[in-house]
Structure 1
Amino acid sequence: MTSHFKYIFTMLIVFSLALTACNLPVAASPTASPPTVSPPVLATLTISPLPATATFTPVVTIGPTFTVEPSLTPTQAIPMAEVQKESNCRKGPAENYERVATYAVGQKLEVVANDLGAGFLYVRNPDKPEETCWILAANLAVSGEVASLPQFTPPPSPLPAPAFSAVYKKIYQCKTDMFFMFIIENTGGANFRSAYIKATDVKSGKSTEQALNAFDLRSECVIAKNITPLTPGSTGYLYTLPFKSDMRGRTLKIIIMVCTEQNLKGVCATQVLEIKPK
């Protein structure tokens, strides 16, 4: 009996201890530190240059393909000239060539070529393309580049060059008017049919001028001998218009021009003299 009681008592004690153990607080697990994350190690990328011989040509196709036309060099405009003074246009760059046409002020001409230094331009009449000739450049207003134009060699002159000599003869007086008389000798190979004479007082600048279609000899206020044309080797006469004052002892500049056609047309030649009448 006693043994049985001990056994029961012992089991109660064990059971009590077991219940006590279940109610005891559970010890907290130690808190784990967050793991340390090291920053990623970046790899170094080394790009070696391609060899010099390698060529990389990217081809990108976007939308339709357009063909770019090459630009065209603009054609140089033809130089044009406008006549500023009525001018003869001839078959060569000199006044002893045959006349092709006479152009009035305002006439438009195409400039085709330069001469070899005589001061003429080779032109074409746009209204008559077959009409080409040489014209004095000083009588034109040119627009456009002419320096690059070709230089044409003119044909041989078919006409003899005009030439003359002029000599002051004397004072010729008609009533109260006083003229200055000049002797003209044709020393060339062409006839002269007109003339121009201008006398200018160098000190005052006053002048007289006139044009004539003859080389007449005057005597006592009338024509004593009619001379027209003035043929090669022959002699004619020119007279200035009178001044309103006495010009004796004064220096005068005289311009004389003679031409192969009437009204100062055709081939002309000019001389300048200086006289001091007494």
Structure 2
Amino acid sequence: MNHKLLPLKVFLLLALLSLSQMFCGINIQTENPTADPGFMATGIAATLTARAVSITPTVTTEQATQTATQQPTETESQQPVQTEPVIPEAASISVSLDTNCREGPSGDYQKLGYLLPGQTAALIGRNSTSTWWYIENPKKPGQYCWVWGEYATLHGDISAVPLTTPPPPPIPIAG
């Protein structure tokens, strides 16, 4: 067994377990509406009054008698509880081997830094073939560079990573 790949395999296994636990543990909580005690008491009183009125015998006379009726009361309706939308995990990249971070998406561009195994960087953009990825330079925050995807593992929703226009290719120096 290749001992150089063992830490990577352990890292990937832990990352996979973490992601699966995160997605399996998604719990969208909604607020359970509680009954208004006043509403319940009004409903019970109305039911008892209606039973008393319907059970009480009335004497029929030639004159019509007027019976008091219970007026319905307005009840407060419960508004549906809005839940916050689930935000997909931001797209990021990690590498299995030391990977140069260059000024543009080609080995012809100047090296600006590197992405090392175990480091993760947020994806800012991609080239048209999705073989080079635009990230913030881990060595110099605030500066951006391109890493080759050959040794990369992509994480999260990469479909949202925008196409990024690279700088013009460097001019070859005649020597």
Q: TM-score, normalised by structure 2?
A: 0.50
Q: Does 1:71 align with 2:76?
A: no
**What stretches of structure 1 of length at least 5 have no aligned partner?**
1-58, 161-188, 191-231, 233-278
Query: Can you list the C-alpha shifts for 1:112-169, whole angstroms capped at 9, x where unaligned?
Result: 1110126101112578541321100112111112133210111112342xxxxxxxxx
C-alpha spacing 1:151/1:61, structure 2 compared with 1 (3 Å):
same
Task: For residue 78 of structure 1, report the CA deviation from its aligned partner.
Answer: 1.0
Aligned to 1:81: 93
Distance in 2 (CA, whole Å) between partners of 1:127 and 1:78 is 21
* Contact 1:82–1:105 (CA under 8 A) maintained in structure 2: yes
Per the alignment, residue 124 of structure 1 pairs with 136
For residues 166-220 of structure 1, what are the alpha-carbon distances to aligned partners after superposition, in whole Å with 9 as ceiling and x for unaligned? xxxxxxxxxxxxxxxxxxxxxxx47xxxxxxxxxxxxxxxxxxxxxxxxxxxxxx
Does the alignment pair 1:151 with 2:155?
Answer: no
When the two structures are aligned, how many residues end up with a matched partner? 104
Between Structure 1 and Structure 2, the one with more strand by share is 1
Change (3 A) 1:118 1:76: closer
Point out the structure with the larger helix share. 2
Name the structure 1 match of 2:103: 91
Q: Determine helix, strand or coil for the equivalent of 2:159.
A: coil
2:126 maps to which residue?
114
Q: d(CA) in 2 for partners of 1:143 and 1:120?
A: 15
> Any idea what the Cα deviations from partners look like across 1:13-46, whole Å, max 9, x if unmatched?
xxxxxxxxxxxxxxxxxxxxxxxxxxxxxxxxxx
TM-score (norm 1): 0.33
Secondary structure of 2:146's partner?
strand
SS at match of 1:147: helix
Q: 2:148 aligns with which of 95, 112, 136?
A: 136
Q: Distance in 2 between matches of 1:128 and 1:61?
A: 64
Q: Residues 159 and 87 (structure 1 numbering): CA distance in 2 closer, same or farther, change over 3 Å? A: farther
Asked whether the 8 Å contact 1:108–1:125 carries over to 2, the reply is no
Flag the structure with larger Rg: 1
Counterpart residue type for residue 143 of structure 1: H
CA pair 66-140 structure 1, distance change in 2 beyond 3 A: same
What displacement does 1:98 show? 1.7
Supply the distance in 2 between the matched residues of 1:127 and 1:95 (Cα, whole angstroms).
19
Give the C-alpha shift of residue 71 in structure 1.
3.4
Q: CA RMSD in A?
A: 2.7
Q: Aligned in 2, Cα 1:60/1:94: closer, same or farther, shift over 3 Å?
A: farther
Closer/same/farther in 2, CA of residues 149 and 60 from structure 1, 3 Å limit: farther
2: CA distance, partners of 1:78 / 1:120: 18
Measure how far apart 1:67 and its partner are: 3.1
2:114 touches 2:138 (CA, 8 Å); kept in 1? no
Q: CA deviation at 1:101?
A: 0.5
Distance in 2 (CA, whole Å) between partners of 1:60 and 1:99 is 76
Instruction: Name the CA shift for 1:66/1:128 in 2 (closer, same or farther; >3 Å).
Output: farther
1:88–1:148 distance in 2 versus 1, CA, 3 Å: same
Give the structure 2 partner of residue 171 of structure 1: none
